[in-house]
Amino acid sequence: MADLPDIPLPSGIRSRYVDGINGLRMHVLEAGFETKGRPCVLLLHGFPELAFSWRKVMPQLATAGYHVIAPDQRGYGRTTGWDANYDGDLASFRLTNLVRDALGLVSAFGYKSVDAVIGHDFGSSVAAWCALLRPDVFRSVALMSAPFAGPPALPFNTADAPAKPAAEDPIHRELAALPRPRKHYQWYYSTREANANMHHAPQGMHDFLRAYYHHKSADWKDNAPYPLKSWTAAEIAKLPTYYVMDFVKDMAATVAEEMPSAAAIAANTWLPDSELSFYSAEYTRTGFQGGLQWYRCGTSGAFLPELQTWSGRTIDVPSAFISGKQDWGTYQRPGVFEAMQSKACTNMIGCHLVDGAGHWVQQEQSAEVSRLLLQFLEKAKSVS
């Protein structure tokens, strides 16, 4: 890895490696490292991002007195020790092992606990499970852009009326049968061809990522989300095509239709081409399969029984949710946003939808996200 180019980081953030983290050599961005004894916060990115996605938030948290740690998670970026093969060990990417990665990293830095684990997108799921499984270590949790509904339920009260075998979810068949046939992106991401479609996108990696990030941002003016009524084909087909895709198109073709103009790209301040170039160089080098394995763990159902071990458990540490007001991610699974607030998190002390941000909230509106996180961290100390 010594021949890799430097990362275009703001001052006060350094890049380093930590060995022996649950079989990984983990690449980490770090801020607030100059003095010892600071309280720690752990930042977990999502797909298709990297620790780099936290570059605008980390200096603000460090200035407020925190030691800030943001890894490239398993399957991503400059972290090594994971298998990029579609037919490799899928179990290493399951949620409980990703929690083990986070726990190992915190321990390696000499912390028995951290003030907060903060996760965005798929990193939000990991953060939620960190708080659920080890509340003694992860003393508060901020979930961003992906709400958490709680652990999957076990069959209940079935001794005298045995539960019927789980029926196949008809949603995929129904989506394909719509007048405009569709498919769900998470199941597309689970296919063998998804990585190659994106890694070798006809428009090139840079333009693929530019269109992908644009399509899911507040810059794409048709992002005006609202709660959906049910998990039915007719309802979820209302989602934009980056979530519910046209059946015959791959993701590269899907987002190519929404490529922003040269003028719009030049005017973009939250992800200028100089910063996008880092993402595109990293994904050109690694491909996407590592991140796609996370989706496969979920869609396969193979690890559901393990997660049912915690059926009925809630997140009881102080929690918060932050998302972009123009982010469909809040509502992509009907009812989850509401279940998070009413059942899954018993000590939620903040729920914020930030105007002027789509899915990439900590990049699109970094100042407001930093303010909300610091507000949450301060409040969590008084209620925990």
Could you say which of 3.30.930.10, 3.40.50.300, 3.40.50.1820, 3.30.70.120 is the CATH number of the domain covering 13-151+308-383? 3.40.50.1820
Q: Tell me the per-residue pLDDT of 138-154, one tens digit each, with 9 for 90 and over.
A: 999 999 999 999 999 99
User: What are the structural domain ranges in the chain?
Assistant: 13-151+308-383, 171-291
Number of H helices, E strands in the chain: 16, 10
> Mind listing the pLDDT tens digit for each residue in 173-212?
999 999 999 999 999 999 999 999 999 999 999 999 999 9
Q: How confident is the model at residue 383 (pLDDT cuts 50, 70, 90)?
A: confident
Question: Residue 185 CB: number of other CB atoms within 10 A?
Answer: 19
CB 361 within 8 A of CB 145: yes
348 secondary structure, DSSP code: E
- Kindly report whether the peptide bond that precedes residue 48 is cis, defined as omega within 30 degrees of 0: yes
**Residue 164, pLDDT score:** 78
Structure tokens at 127: 């953060």
The DSSP 8-state label assigned to residue 215 in this structure reads: H
What integer pLDDT is reported at residue 167 of this predicted model? Answer: 76
pLDDT at 16 over 70: yes
Asked if 254 and 241 count as a contact pair (C-beta separation under 8 A), the reply is: yes
Q: Is the pLDDT of residue 168 over 90?
A: no
| Residue owning tokens 């046209």 | 246
**pLDDT tens digits, one per residue of 37-79:** 999 999 999 999 999 999 999 999 999 999 999 999 999 999 9
Closest CA to 198 of 88, 207, 79: 207
The answer to whether residues 45 and 123 touch, using CB atoms and an 8 Å cutoff, is yes
Please answer whether residues 68 and 114 qualify as being in contact, where contact means their C-beta atoms are separated by less than 8 angstroms: no
Residues 217-222 have a mean pLDDT of 98
Q: How confident is the model at residue 3 (pLDDT cuts 50, 70, 90)?
A: confident
Cα dist. 382→156, 319, 378 in Å? 37, 13, 7
Q: What is the pLDDT of residues 268-295, one digit of tens each?
A: 999 999 999 999 999 999 999 999 999 9
Q: Residue 72 forms beta bridges with which residues?
A: none
Structural Rg of the chain based on CA atoms:
20
Determine the pLDDT at residue 329.
Answer: 98
DSSP state of 289: H
In the chain, the amino acid numbered 374 is L
CA 147 to CA 127: how far, in whole Å?
A: 11
Residue 2 banded pLDDT, cuts 50, 70, 90: low
CB-based contacts of 294, cutoff 8 Å, min separation 6? 47, 75, 93, 98, 122
pTM: 0.98
pLDDT bin (cut points 50, 70, 90) of residue 162 is confident
- Helix, strand or coil for residue 68? strand
Q: What is the pLDDT of residue 174?
A: 98
**351-372 average pLDDT score:** 98
Q: Is the pLDDT of residue 296 over 80?
A: yes
Q: How far apart are CA 67 and CA 34, in angstroms?
A: 9
Q: List % helix, strand, coil for the chain (3-state, nearest 5).
A: 40, 15, 45
Task: Share the mean pLDDT of the chain.
Answer: 97
CA distance 238 to 249: 17
